[in-house]
Each structure stands twice: as C-alpha cells, then as structure tokens.
Homo-oligomer: A and B are copies of this chain.
Amino acid sequence: MRGGSLKRWNGWGDESVSLAVPPAAARLLEARIGPGAPPKDAALADVVAGAPPPRLAPGRLVTTDAETRVRHARGQSLPDWIALKSGRLGALPDAVAYPESDADVRELLAMARAGVRLVPYGGGTSVVGGVNPAPGDAPVLTIDLARVNGLLDLDETSRLATFGAGILGPDLEAALRARGYTVGHFPQSFEHSTLGGWVATRSSGQESRGYGRIEDLFAGGRLEAPSGTLVMPPFPASAAGPDVRQMILGSEGRLGIVTEATVRVTPIAAREEVRAFFFSGDERALAATRALAQTRLPLSMLRLSLAEETESALLLAGAGPTARALDAWLALRGVKAGRCLLLAGASGEEAPVARALAAAEDLVLSARGVPGPAALGRRFLRDRFRGPYLRNALWDLGYAVDTLETATTWEKVPALVAAVEHALSSSLEALGERLHVFTHLSHAYPSGSSAYTTYVFRAAEPDATLRRWELAKRAASEAIVRAGATISHQHGVGSDHLPYLAAEKGELGVASLAALARVFDPAGAMNPGKLVP
C-alpha cells in the first residue's frame, strides 16, 4: 500500500508533517466566527474493527484487509473528513485491487459483467467525492493504480514521456529530472495525486499558465474499459473529427481506467522565480491581473489574493515577526487598507524569465502596484504544497475548512466573487453560525479567470457539521450557477457537483456524457454516482 503508515488515514498528507495555526490567525478566526471546540475523533483501530464484512473474496490482485478498505473509503472533501473523523464511513469498498499491468486491469474490469461496481483510485485526493463507493446492493471493488507507475518511454526527440498512470507527482518529476526534463504540473495535491488522476479530473497546476493544464500536457495514452481498450495516439494536433482524448480528460473513472499516459515534457527550467506585488483594493488588483493575463508575457503563474484572503493568508502563513515590517514597507509605499497580494511567476531559461518578470513589474508599477519583499515569492515556492496541512491544524482547533473554485469571463469575475462570498457568508445565518470567507484567483487567462474561495466555520457534532457544510456548499454552488460560471475550474464533478452539471452542459451535453458511458461501460459499473447522473 502506497504511503503505508506515513499517510494520514483521516486527514491531509504525511503523518510526519504537522503545521500549527499561528496564534494571530486563531485570534482572527475567534473574532470572526467564534471559538472552536476541539473535536473527539474516532480511532483508526475502532473504525477498522467496525468495518462490515466484505462481499467480495480476496484473490491474486485483490485484498479484503479491513484497514486497506477503510483507507480507500473516502477522499479529501469536507464530507469525507467528517465521515473519517467521526468514524461513520458509510459505504466501504468490499475489496481493494492492486493491478500491476494492463492485463491485470482488464481481468479486474471483467468483474463489471458479474455485477461488481468498480471505483478507479489514483491518489485518493478527490475533494468532490470522486473515489467514494456509492451505497447499494452491488459489491464495490476499488482499483488502486499504485503499482502501475513506471516511466515506460522517454522520446527526447518529440519531448514525450509515457508513464504508468498510477505514478505519484513527486515520483514522476524525479524520474524525469534524472533525464533533464519536467512536466511542470503542480496541483496543490501534487505530493499525493497521480498522473492518471490528473487526467481523469482535468487537473490544473500552479504553473499551468506556463506549462499548460493537463489537457495541454496529456498527449495520448491508454484507457482500459469494460468494453475494450482505447489507445490515444500522441499526435501534436489532428483534425480527424472530435478529439477522443478530450472525452477521456475529465471522465472521472466513468469511462474506464487510464493506465498509461503520454505527457509533453520540457527541459528543466534554469530559473524559476515568483515575485510578490501588492495593490490597494480588489478593484485595482483585478485590473492589473487581467492586464498581465492579457499580455503575451511568458509568465508561468499569476495568483491574486483579494484583500480578505491577503490578510488571512499572511496570518495563516505565520508571517508573524515579519508582518509588522511588511506593514511598514507597504504603508511607506501608499498601500494601507485592502491590500491585495499578487504572485507572478516565470519559469524557463535565464534571460526570458528575467525579461518576463521585469516586464510584469513595469506593468504592475504602471497599475499603481508595489513590489513586495522577495521573501514572499521564495516562500510561495518553498511552501507551495503545504496549504492543505493547515486543514489538519484548524480541525484540531474545532474549525472546518472547505474550498471551492469556479471560473468565468473577466467581465463577470467581480460579480461572481461577490455573489459566492455573499452566499457563503450568509448561508448559516438561520443556524446562528458565521463563516470566514476569502478568495483568490488561482489561474488567470486572457479571457477570464478562476476564483478560488476558502470558507471556515465551526465544527460541531458530525451531523451538525455536515448540515452546515451542505447549506454553505449549496448556497455557493447556486450562486456560481446564477453568475454564469463553471461549477468547477479544477476540482472536478464527482458526486458533490453533480446536481449543478446540467446547468452548464445543457441537456444535450449531459446526454452526451451518458451516451459515452454506455459505449465504454454498458453495465454502468464504473464509478457509479459520479459525473453522469
């Protein structure tokens, strides 16, 4: 089992990594939403002991070990956390399979015909319920791709690398680094998510502006489905009809299992740098970010924290001792209330990186922005995957944290952010509970931007916490739909976003997904309850 005892069974990441909530951040939360009450979490041993008996038998590739089943029962959504922390897991997989080859996968997929439901499992980091067994009478087999994880081919002439799709982010980058290359795909889940999972969920990385989203990086590969095998050749482009690769991207296990993926690689960047800038007020910051996004400057990242997030993020990052120095620095330069932090990154050869960042700085200055301390940019790169660990620490203080994200055209971005934040902030009024809500733009495009909103509220008994989440999530999702934005820019659909999918895909779009599912999986055995109604 990958990660083994090192991976938290009921929280984020490696057990060896713990972050603390800085006192100033805790004070902020207490002032905004009230004091948290530390929870009483269930113990793994008790949950394992209470696992229902499996309805599948173990076999060559298949284990029914109760701890393994528990560790594959849920992803990383807040409802998943509530289930895991309380020990009330609901449906468990009846068994977990570890195939080692395409032939193994095909052997397992044949069980679809015998009435078994199959859940493909990459790194288990879904935050939308993507790996959870749907409750029901049919037994569930979770297929963990952990052992399908090799570098199968590196075509240096064409700059294409082919991997077993179960490879984890760090292993993929390490294998390429040894040969002088990188894929450059760095979602926040990077350390625990897999290449196949990135493809199946249309993942986006922190530097997608430079390296491309997974749609751009995934050149081709292999899908094993109950109906057969689909090979997607890695053509640089094709006009031979609709792109089948694009039907697999985002298919969330409903069409089959991505076993092999060929990705575009580039030489390791000689220089990678992130610079911090500050603006006074959301409006000015948004205008500057849009202007930067609409240049052709080869920036690999643009990430704008709006004012509320900037304040919270600086506190949560524990910028304690330096916070006052930063205040003074910014005040001297005219940035006082409503300061917004923009991070702009570039990656590549020395000269173009230097030039792109200098040009970005010129544009920022002309938009009345102020360069921030260089340390902020360096800290982003150092801590780029540490954010989710704060969820563990906040939970232990009695606070539940969730994030949601969307995207729309620039014209609609301000109204979208306002609507989502308002919907969340007022969602628990009837319960007398408050939320702390803040937003950043994680990905800026020429035509629009993503908006990534974090909301924190007090946890309580499991059912009450879940109820709070349901109210908040529904309010935000309905606001997103009303604002004419996508229900997900990077997290996917899973089960949590399913009720809102038809609003953007339309009746014909949803019918298309269902028709594709019938082609690849006539028995409807693949990851039921996700993506396709």
Chain A interface (Cβ within 8 Å of chain B)? 155, 157-160, 201-204, 213, 215, 219, 223, 225, 227-231, 233-244, 246-252, 264, 266, 290, 294, 296, 298, 348-349, 352, 407-412, 443, 445-450, 484-493, 497, 501, 504-509, 511-513, 515-516, 518-520, 531
Contacts and interface: CB of A to CB of B under 8 A. Distances in A.
A377 to B, nearest CB: 21
A232 to B, nearest CB: 8
The 5 closest A-B pairs by CB, nearest first: A236-B448, A246-B246, A236-B445, A158-B409, A202-B239
Contacts of A244: 505-506, 508-509, 512
Contact of A409 (B155, B249, B492): B155
A238 B407 contact: yes
Nearest to A267: B294
Contacts of A247: 242, 246-247, 512
B294 A159 contact: yes
Given A243-B246, A508-B520, A448 B531 contact: no
Contact of A246 (B242, B298, B489): B242
Nearest to A215: B243
Nearest to A484: B233
A511 B504 contact: no
A155 B411 contact: yes
Contacts of A204: 237, 239
A428 B157 CA distance: 35
Given A228-B508, A352-B296, A241 B411 contact: no
Nearest to A247: B242
Contacts of A250: 239-243
Contacts of A230: 506, 508-509
A229 B511 CA distance: 12
A358 to B, nearest CB: 12
A449 B407 CA distance: 32
A252 B241 contact: yes
Looking at A235, A251, A448, A516, the one whose CB has the most chain B CB atoms below 10 A away is: A235
A208 to B, nearest CB: 8
A238 B490 CA distance: 7
B241 A251 contact: yes
A407 B237 contact: yes
A50 B234 CA distance: 48
A105 to B, nearest CB: 15
21 contacts: A158-B410, A158-B412, A158-B448, A159-B446, A201-B239, A204-B237, A223-B508, A233-B486, A235-B489, A235-B504, A236-B408, A236-B447, A239-B493, A240-B497, A241-B492, A242-B249, A242-B250, A246-B246, A264-B447, A512-B520, A515-B516
Contact of A238 (B202, B223, B252): B202
B251 A242 contact: yes
A331 B136 CA distance: 78
Contact of A505 (B159, B241, B504): B241
Given A158-B447, A298-B296, A508-B519, A238 B486 contact: yes
A445 B233 CA distance: 15
A213 B237 CA distance: 9
A412 to B, nearest CB: 8
Task: Count chain B CB atoms within 10 A of each CB in A250, A264, A484, A505 and give the residue with the most.
Answer: A505
Find the residue from A411, A506, A507, A509 having the highest chain B CB count within 10 A.
Answer: A509
Contacts of A492: 239-241
Nearest to A515: B515
